[in-house]
Amino acid sequence: MQDLQGKVAVITGGAGGIGKAMGRRFAEEGMKVVLADLIPGPLDDAVADLRADGHDVMGVVTDVGDFASVEALRDAAYEAHGAVHVLCNNAGVGAGAEGKMWEHTLNDWGWGLAVNLWGVIHGIKAFVPAMLEGGAPGHIVNTSSGNGGVAPLGNTAIYATTKAAVTTVTEVLWAQLRSVEAPIGASVLFPGPKVLRTGLLESSKGRPEQWANAEPRKTPHTTIESFEARMRAAGIEPEYTPVEAVAEEALRGILEDRFWILPASAQTDKTIEARSRSMLERSAPTYIRIM
């Protein structure tokens, strides 16, 4: 995709953080933007904020863990604009589970998997057939994380597991789109290189009742304040990557048709380049030959 003017982007997790930043950046390029999120209030605020700057933006309340809800998002986008050219499966949560992974509840696992992994699968299932039928150039961006997508942190079993899966899903999606010579690219987005203030640490506030735990927590949820306090107690001053920088990198990744959309970090670059060579030079052609 080279010309984004008048094209349509759908972004899940669009009420704040990376999702809203991508919505604003894409809209600045002349795109029509559909923001999706679970909680109406913040979503309405995000839409109003971008519209106040003259952007063509609409919001659709969506539970990405529910396929019917994602289908409704697709239908709303096509009804409003007649096409979708960019899909960003960006919604994500930190499950906030306590203890070791064998102590996590099934609802902890269920919620993390429903949003972080099934949300991506639902997006692919709902939108890709319609995008292929439309025949226009397009792009899909799935938000992963260095935590799991490259190497897991030992105290985030659920989150890291889901993000590792998102990376693999996107690798296979990329290969299969190429195998049918689709005009649609696929990228995996690795925000960073520093921590982002996206509200991920406080996502428990929007945890649906169906994934509630029967027993109350024994420890407080992590907040950005408690995270910063722990960092400073360890002698580390917290540093953050602006969400606007991630959105800019996502835009460049789409325009350059890059599979890996990652921060400018030498250590991360080396890790990604090694895996990228493996995928592009060996794994992906193998997938294509098999199919």
Enter the DSSP assignment of 115.
I
| DSSP E strand stretches across the chain | 8-12, 32-37, 57-61, 86-89, 138-143, 184-189, 260-261
Q: How far apart are CA 86 and CA 8, in angstroms?
A: 6
For residue 88 the two structure tokens come to: 């960003």
The position carrying tokens 């007649």 is 82
Which among 139, 217, 228 has a CA at the least distance from the CA of 182? 139
Buried b or exposed e, range 135-174, using 16+ CB within 10 angstroms = eebbbbbbbbbbbbbbebeeebbbbbbbbbbbbebbbebb
Which residues carry out catalysis?
A: 159
Neighbours of 47 (CB within 10 A): 23
**Is residue 175 within 8 Å of residue 286, measured between CB atoms?**
no
Q: How far apart are CA 23 and CA 123, in angstroms?
A: 17
Q: What is the CA radius of gyration of the chain?
A: 19
Q: How far apart are CA 98 and CA 278, in angstroms?
A: 36
Length of the chain: 291
Determine the number of helices (DSSP H) and then strands (DSSP E) in the chain: 11, 7
The contacts of residue 261 (CB under 8 Å, 6+ apart) are 141, 187, 188, 189, 190, 249, 250, 252, 253
